Structure 1
């Protein structure tokens, strides 16, 4: 059996054996210990926050239908919470994980057990810290195997690999954020990108920090690719090899072949790769996509795909990646994504809409007397900068606690304007309310949400993630959304089903979902920079007509505030 070419190969294989899946649904138990470990990735070692001493953290292997218990014990100096990104957590927001939304964080020296069922989902998801910027190093893959006896709806691969794309700072990332806030400016960009925690040989002092996989001629491999980067959309390609996309965000797609993929922070993409080239060593590579005048870490991370029997002395060649600002590739790639929409995996797109929402995405600069720059950058939805509470919003909703949040988030921006016209510098009345403003959604109603980028300060692409749900991406375009013309162009037959979607630079994206999961569900930009600036809100989905359609009671060990 082929596998990783590194000193952890035996450990990796033993873990795979330990986490083998049985024929029936099981109770899976994991222990996650949050701790600080010295790790070298470029020219020196530094202490980083890790899970079980691993970077990236351990992979959670389960099968559709399993119940999962993951006990998280926090030994680090930071408060912590873990989000199981893409798991729907039916009626069970207590296991969702965003700090101060569905729980208060786990304090140093304390533990919390995330207890959830994996229902109606299979594929690649991931987990990560959901507080401050700690997910830079606190993250790992979730692999959900299909039910026993159910095969993939594509050719069975001979082997599978997880590829987590990330960002690396040579400094303590929490200190980087504090320094940026002190100045009122964005924190400095990352020092490197990584593939499975390693930058590859294009970086100084990193010769031994290269991830590699070994393949055999004629065999097919499934790569489970996760973008765990904090702030960068990324292109990914393998020199000389085609990628066949078969799944995004744990939902099967109509397969299509491409030379490269585009993957935003929070998204996952499964591709098939056929080892059909001349046996050699080939670079896998990832680097940013940014088609706006924004500073990014424009460095290329590399890993190696190596045919069996080829010596390590052969120098690999880099693949042709799209250019940094290749908007056309990005738009064309996303337009190819389609749900499988088969009898076994239908695309249940809501055709009738009960609630129409239109949210504008804006950046701004507010006065800040304590900042060295005199102003502080902010972000907003519908001109509202979200204020984080000091108690879990789900807890406040469940116990009907007063004075924690309001439910008056507007369905539309208060002041319509030419959203993507000439650059605007005003905040157009951006406000920070005293309490978080949420939006109440009726149980089982159908919702259409149009996310509109704006040219407040600058246009930019924004990947948006909705907790607790998948949604269908029914439409997208450049410029201002036209409610009279654009809906006629929607794909209501086989649109891609996702949990995280990119809003194109200077454009809009329309999503639809059925609000059949009661609770308080976060929606936010998955660029950590913008989330910290307030580009977020939450939906309060009401209980259904009976206890079977209502929020479950909170667990006894829910972390206190």
Structure 2
């Protein structure tokens, strides 16, 4: 989330400072070195990693040099990468991992994205420490559709385990249990002084692994002007609810009595292991005043306040002006319904499982738990290698039931394993409805689609009804997003034009759900014209 101040009248000086800062930041762009110690994996020795800057339509070249002792990949979250799935980053979907001692030069092709995005590791749970912001500025000479900010401050929400993150994941997968809760949440890599005495103080990005987060600044209102690198109709709020993977652009007007004020963030959670803790940083006014011994803390929504989380998400609307038009499909050529479930497998013989009912946690889309292949799907598709995946991912649930009934029968809890993809015709208009289920009590799911932004045209509680719900769709100014939180025991409908050929991952951005198999992939066919085909395969693609 990018938090920016309203102009103070010192624009020329601020622009000079911003120019100097940008020049310094750009020194981080050409390469990325990955280093590891006994504790964490970092990028260029920084945690969080470097902030990258570009402009609308730019292409960035990032050389990823793996000097660590473990495999890694980097995903450019929210970048559509037109015709270029090769450097999208998800392991065994579009590439094999970058092995220790090897390099991969990644081409980051920006198109119409504008505002805040981010990048992160996309292999196992490495994104716990490997992440950073990606700021896409307007083209030279283009103005913001809001007052020009006098400063730009990336704020990244993160999560921290005292334990080795690889061990946390390994233990959970071995026992089939919910992973251990983190020890702290972070703002720009720091937990804040509400955990322990701490002297460090710390555009808004949520890298938290398993929770929607509430965020607030004491005594200040926030004006939301963008989400997921697309402008929104401005609206004023005193809090933000942000899903893992989502980005929010906000304007902060420093209009309070000069002093110090806490910003704070804590989770919204209704299921699973989580840390019921609050991370803080301090907003400091410049000037002569006596700093308070204890700055005011904001009052955040309750941890189980689903209404506040849902209401914030429902407030997002596309700007949809003449200068910033939208192109939402008015009808769909392909209609899909995907159920999202956390499931249970029975524990095998001679196994000891610690999941619900002494079983092993799994997760599924349309009752399919994704099995990661050993050759990436894009390579198999490009080279026509058989036996890596099946093209039969169901477009609708394999069997229908009351998805949000109070007690879902046990016979509906068990999914099927498979490496299955859904093939989509080039340039077709796709409507995808996500339906949460109440298996094991249900929870929310922040769903992220690679290679595309999509219009969120509808949402509601309970079961989606194809006969009645579409009449209430917003086809005028729906928000354009790449990550959307599906409400607990509810549904959300999205639409997009399948005009980006390649292999593109769809997954829940709660890491524990991904580890349990809540993902699938789309293959979007190529068109007939030259600009409707994938770009050539890079020569230095990592090898399996």
State the SS of the aligned residue for 1:531: helix
Distance (Å, rounded) in 2 between the aligned partners of 1:325 and 1:162 = 27
User: Does 2:443 correspond to 1:460?
Assistant: yes
Deviation, structure 1 residue 209? 3.9
State the SS of the aligned residue for 1:107: coil
Deviation, structure 1 residue 428? 2.1
Deviation, structure 1 residue 14? 6.4
Deviation, structure 1 residue 547? 2.7
Mapped contact 2:178–2:272 kept (Cα < 8 A): no
Mapped contact 2:79–2:108 kept (Cα < 8 A): no
Pair 1:20–1:186, CA change in 2 (3 A): closer
Residue of structure 2 in register with 1:7 after alignment = none
Aligned length: 524
Residue of structure 1 in register with 2:352 after alignment = 372
**Deviation digits for residues 186-224 of structure 1, max 9, x if unmatched?**
1111110000000100002x412431xxxxxxxxxxxx0
- Please list, as runs of the form range in 1=range in 2, the aligned pairs for 1:119-158 lying within 5 A after superposition: 119-158=111-150
Residue of structure 1 in register with 2:245 after alignment = 266
Residue of structure 1 in register with 2:330 after alignment = 351
Residue of structure 1 in register with 2:49 after alignment = 57
Distance (Å, rounded) in 2 between the aligned partners of 1:380 and 1:300 = 31
Distance (Å, rounded) in 1 between the aligned partners of 2:300 and 2:96 = 42
- Please list, as runs of the form range in 1=range in 2, the aligned pairs for 1:4-153 lying within 5 A after superposition: 16-19=22-25, 29-37=29-37, 47-153=39-145
Deviation, structure 1 residue 117? 2.1
Q: 1:297 aligns with which of 263, 275, 281?
A: 275
Residue of structure 2 in register with 1:360 after alignment = 339
Deviation, structure 1 residue 105? 0.5
* Alignment RMSD (CA, Å): 1.9
Give structure 1 stretches of 5+ with no counterpart. 3-10, 22-27, 38-45, 212-223
Distance (Å, rounded) in 1 between the aligned partners of 2:123 and 2:52 = 20
- Please list, as runs of the form range in 1=range in 2, the aligned pairs for 1:437-452 lying within 5 A after superposition: 437-452=420-435
Deviation, structure 1 residue 440? 0.3
Mapped contact 1:364–1:425 kept (Cα < 8 A): no
Mapped contact 1:380–1:536 kept (Cα < 8 A): yes
Residue of structure 1 in register with 2:215 after alignment = 236
**Deviation digits for residues 308-355 of structure 1, max 9, x if unmatched?**
134556321111111111122122212211000011211211001100
Pair 1:554–1:496, CA change in 2 (3 A): same
Mapped contact 1:384–1:430 kept (Cα < 8 A): no
Give structure 2 stretches of 5+ with no counterpart. 6-16
Distance (Å, rounded) in 1 between the aligned partners of 2:373 and 2:522 = 15
Mapped contact 2:436–2:442 kept (Cα < 8 A): yes
Mapped contact 1:34–1:75 kept (Cα < 8 A): yes
Residue of structure 2 in register with 1:210 after alignment = 201
Mapped contact 1:365–1:427 kept (Cα < 8 A): no
Distance (Å, rounded) in 2 between the aligned partners of 1:443 and 1:173 = 40
Distance (Å, rounded) in 2 between the aligned partners of 1:81 and 1:390 = 15
Distance (Å, rounded) in 2 between the aligned partners of 1:399 and 1:548 = 20
Name the TM-score, length of structure 1 as normaliser: 0.90
Residue of structure 2 in register with 1:219 after alignment = none
Pair 1:422–1:307, CA change in 2 (3 A): same
Name the TM-score, length of structure 2 as normaliser: 0.93
Moved over 4 A (4+): 11-15, 310-313
Mapped contact 1:359–1:411 kept (Cα < 8 A): yes
